[in-house]
Amino acid sequence: MIIGTGIDIVDIARFERTMARTPRLMERLFAPAERSLRLPSLAARYAAKEALIKALGGSDGVRWIDIEIASEASGRPRFELSGSTAAVVADRGILTLHLSLSHDAGLAAAFVVAEGVPL
């Protein structure tokens, strides 16, 4: 059963300016494995994290650094959750998270579907 959905879109140029203006955001928003990626990929991952929060229905107990977007061998993106964020997802009965990312024409987008058993 679908428990929640979330979508987010990010203007890559605006994201780039924000990251240049506030370099410490890199450490606050992204897991160590994500930090070496190019800005369009980071913008898509930022959108994914926002979309996940929307699918969860809010950010209570969610920590940005606990959300990592990794890639399967096929290139398909997936969430790797840890800490309090993983606990929030489990507490809400979510068993599977589906993620789609895209970036083109100066925009990055993400869509998340949370599936599970409502508690």
**All domains of the chain in start order, with CATH:** 2-116 (3.90.470.20)
Q: What is the pLDDT of residues 70-94, one digit of tens each?
A: 999 999 999 999 999 999 999 999 9
Q: What is the pLDDT of residues 92-105, one digit of tens each?
A: 999 999 999 999 99
Q: Is 70 helix (H, G, I), strand (E, B) or coil?
A: strand
Q: What's the start-to-end Cα distance of the chain, in Å?
A: 12
Amino acid at 105: A
Q: For residues 70 and 77, what is the distance between their CA atoms, to the nearest angstrom?
A: 6
Full-model pTM: 0.95
Amino acid at 2: I
Could you tell me if 39 and 98 are in contact, meaning their C-beta atoms sit under 8 angstroms apart? no
Instruction: Compute φ and ψ for 65, nearest 5 degrees.
Output: -70, -20
Answer left, alpha or beta for residue 61, where phi above 0 means left and psi between -120 and 50 means alpha: left
